[in-house]
Structure 1
Amino acid sequence: MPNSSIKNEKMYEELRSEGNSKEKAARIANAAAARGKSAVGRKGGSSGSYYDWSVADLKKRAKELGLSNYSHLTKDKLIAKLRSH
Structure 2
Amino acid sequence: MPAKKKDPGPSVKDPELYEKLRDEGNSKEKSARIANAAAAEGRSAVGERGGHAGDYEDRTVEELRERAAELDIEGRSSMSKSELIDALRNH
Higher RCO (CA 8 Å, separation ≥ 6 residues): 1
Give the 3 Å change call, closer, same or farther, for CA 78–36 of structure 1 in structure 2: same
In the alignment, the residues of structure 2 paired with residue 27 and residue 2 of structure 1 have an alpha-carbon distance, to the nearest angstrom, of 12
1:54 aligns with 60
| 1:37 correspondence with 2:43 | yes
Please list every run of 5 or more consecutive structure 1 residues that lacks an aligned counterpart in the other structure.
none
| 1:79 correspondence with 2:91 | no
Aligned sequence identity (%): 54
Give the aligned CA root-mean-square deviation in angstroms: 1.6
Contact 1:7/1:29 (8 A) holds in 2: yes
More helix by share: 1
Bigger mean CA deviation after superposition, 58-67 or 32-41: 32-41
2:3 aligns with none
1:4 aligns with 10
Match of 2:78, SS state, is coil
In the alignment, the residues of structure 2 paired with residue 68 and residue 44 of structure 1 have an alpha-carbon distance, to the nearest angstrom, of 26
Q: TM-score, normalised by structure 1?
A: 0.83
In the alignment, the residues of structure 1 paired with residue 70 and residue 42 of structure 2 have an alpha-carbon distance, to the nearest angstrom, of 30
In the alignment, the residues of structure 1 paired with residue 65 and residue 50 of structure 2 have an alpha-carbon distance, to the nearest angstrom, of 25
Runs of 4 or more above 4 Å deviation: none
1:23 aligns with 29
Q: TM-score, normalised by structure 2?
A: 0.79
